[in-house]
């Protein structure tokens, strides 16, 4: 049987939670429960091949992350020396989220602009939560739009230091309550390729802010429902 430590390394958080529930409900060891859970995820693959594939994927993701961090550090160095903001020949995006009240109804706004001037705007009501959740959902919406547009190089601007610092947290250790959203953002960035997040003052994020607030406009909501 494959050692528990190795299984824990490759198991996703959801799979570890499922195995703990299984261990408790079936009165079996955590090790046996995790084996069952991963065997189910493996499908027709052998568990050994499934684990090896997970290891390989983790190694690729780690290599990609190191490469992005190296490129980011190089750009930051050039930016600091030149006293200029990050520039890109690719796409640019802006995101913002609103909660009314806080916590309360969520509205998300975003803008995505391509190198030829093509523009995507986002203004959507996004359920209930707090302002940090709204900011994260707005960032996710912009990244999902970028993925749909086939973007491979983008700078995304936002005025939420909480979200940007959380995504960029060393070793992926950030705010526990935002872990699910952070994981989604990192997964989208990995799919897109070269994405840089940059904080800007709220005054320079006016369009995304307007779009996020427009999503909470009762008159607009009534018109869309009609």
- Asked whether the predicted pLDDT for residue 188 surpasses 80, the reply is yes
When pLDDT is cut at 50, 70 and 90, the band that residue 81 belongs to is very low
Residue 133 has pLDDT above 90, yes or no: yes
C-beta of residue 81 within 8 angstroms of C-beta of residue 184: no
Q: Is the pLDDT of residue 18 over 60?
A: yes
What sign does the dihedral 178-179-184-186 (CA atoms) show?
positive
Q: What is the pLDDT of residue 76?
A: 57
Q: Which residue has the higher pLDDT, 170 or 64?
A: 64
Q: What is the pLDDT of residue 74?
A: 63
Average pLDDT over residues 21-26: 92
Q: Are 89 and 215 in contact (CB under 8 A)?
A: no
Please give the structure tokens belonging to residue 177. 């309550």
Sorting pLDDT into bands at 50, 70 and 90, what band is 80? very low
What is the fold, at CATH topology level, of the domain defined by 86-225?
A: Nucleotidyltransferase; domain 5 (3.30.420)
* Residue 105, both tokens: 């109804």
User: Residue 65, preceding bond cis, omega within 30 degrees?
Assistant: no
109 forms beta bridges with 96, 123
User: Domain coordinates of the chain in residue numbers?
Assistant: 1-84, 86-225
**Between 55 and 111, where is the model more confident?**
111
Q: What is the mean pLDDT of residues 22-48?
A: 92
- pLDDT for 3: 86
15, 21, 25, 30 alpha-carbon torsion, rounded to 10° = 70
Question: Where would I find the H helices in 83-155?
Answer: 131-148
């Amino acid at each position: 049987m494959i050692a528990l430590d190795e299984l824990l390394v490759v198991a996703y958080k959801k799979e570890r939670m499922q195995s703990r529930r299984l261990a408790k409900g079936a009165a079996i060891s955590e090790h046996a429960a995790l084996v069952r859970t991963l065997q189910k995820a493996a499908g027709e693959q052998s568990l050994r091949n499934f684990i090896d594939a997970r290891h390989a994927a983790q190694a690729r993701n780690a290599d990609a992350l190191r490469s992005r961090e190296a490129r980011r550090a190089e750009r930051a160095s050039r930016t600091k020396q030149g006293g200029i903001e990050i520039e890109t020949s690719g796409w640019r995006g802006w995101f913002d989220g609103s909660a009314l009240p806080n916590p309360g109804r969520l509205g998300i706004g975003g803008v995505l602009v391509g190198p030829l001037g093509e523009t995507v705007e986002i203004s959507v009501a996004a359920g209930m939560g707090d302002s940090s959740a709204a900011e994260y959902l707005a960032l996710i919406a912009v990244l999902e739009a970028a993925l749909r547009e086939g973007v491979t190089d983008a700078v995304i601007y936002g005025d939420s230091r909480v979200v940007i610092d959380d995504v960029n947290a060393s070793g992926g250790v950030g705010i526990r309550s935002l872990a699910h959203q952070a994981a989604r953002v990192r997964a989208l960035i990995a799919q897109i390729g070269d994405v840089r997040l940059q904080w800007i003052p709220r005054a320079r994020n006016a369009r995304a802010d307007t779009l996020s607030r427009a999503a909470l406009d009762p008159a607009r909501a009534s018109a869309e429902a009609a």
